Amino acid sequence: MQCSLRIETHRIVGQNIGYYCVVPRIYQSHTRGPILYFVPDEDGYTPTVFFYPEYYRTICVRLFHFNGEAVTNVKPVVIEYEEIQDDEGNIYKVVSKSSLFSSYEEALEYVQAEGTGNQRIVSRYPFISPIPLEAMDGYRKVYTSEQELYDYDIETDEGTIQGTVYDVKIFEYTGD
C-alpha cells in the first residue's frame, strides 16, 4: 500500500502583507487547522495562521513534513484568544497573549490549569511541530518529486531551520 500527499499553496492576504502558507488540502478543518487568527501589532492586526497539535498527529503530515521520523525537541507556544464578532456577525479570533514553553508537558499543564477553553497549543509553521511525535515504523519513502515548491528559512530562538518542500512524496507501508 502506498500513501501520498499533495499539498497546495494558498495565498493569505492582510493589510499591507501577503504570504504563502502550505497546507495539506485534506486537513483544512476547524479541528485540525490551519486556523486564521489576528495578532495585534502597531498598525492594527496581522492575520496569522496557526496549526493545532491535531494537524501534526495526522499520518500524512507526519510522513510528508517529517518523513515519519520522531520529533523530540519541541518548544510549544500557547496562545490565548478572544472571539470578537463584527457588525455583520462574522467571528474573528484575536490573540491576546502568547507564551513560549520549554516542553509540551509544561504547555499542556498550563492550558489545563487555565481551563477557559480559549487557550491553544499552536505552531505558526507546518514544518515545526509543537508536540513530540513518535517515529512511524513501517513506512519507507519510495519517491520524492524533483519539482520543489519552495525552500524555507525559519528563524527560531534555537537558530535557523532550513528545508525544501517538494511537490510530491510517496511512502510505502512495509508493515515492519
Burial of 71 by CB count in 10 Å (0-12 exposed, 13-18 middle, 19+ buried)? middle
Strands 77-85 and 91-100: antiparallel
Mean pLDDT of 14-29: 40
Cα distance between residue 90 and residue 40, in whole Å: 18
161 Rama class: left (phi>0) / alpha (psi -120 to 50) / beta: beta
Domain spans, the chain: 2-173
pTM, whole model, 2 decimals?
Answer: 0.76
How many residues would you count in the chain?
Answer: 176
Cα distance between residue 50 and residue 120, in whole Å: 10
Q: What percentage of residues in the chain have a pLDDT greater than 70?
A: 81
Mean pLDDT of 152-162: 80
Residue-wise pLDDT for 56-110, tens only, equals 999 888 998 899 999 998 999 999 999 999 899 999 999 999 999 999 999 999 9
Residue-wise pLDDT for 138-149, tens only, equals 999 999 889 888
Mean pLDDT rounded to a whole number for the chain: 81
Residue 13 has pLDDT above 90, yes or no: no
Strands 139-144 and 168-173: antiparallel
Question: Which band of pLDDT confidence, cut at 50, 70 and 90, is reported for residue 23?
Answer: very low
Cα distance between residue 38 and residue 81, in whole Å: 9
Q: Rank 27-31, 82-86, 166-170 by mean pLDDT and report only the highest.
A: 82-86
> How far is the CA of 7 from the CAs of 28, 73, 161, 169, 170, in angstroms?
11, 25, 20, 10, 12
pLDDT at 32: 62
pLDDT at 31: 58
2: closest CA among 168, 150, 154, 128? Answer: 168
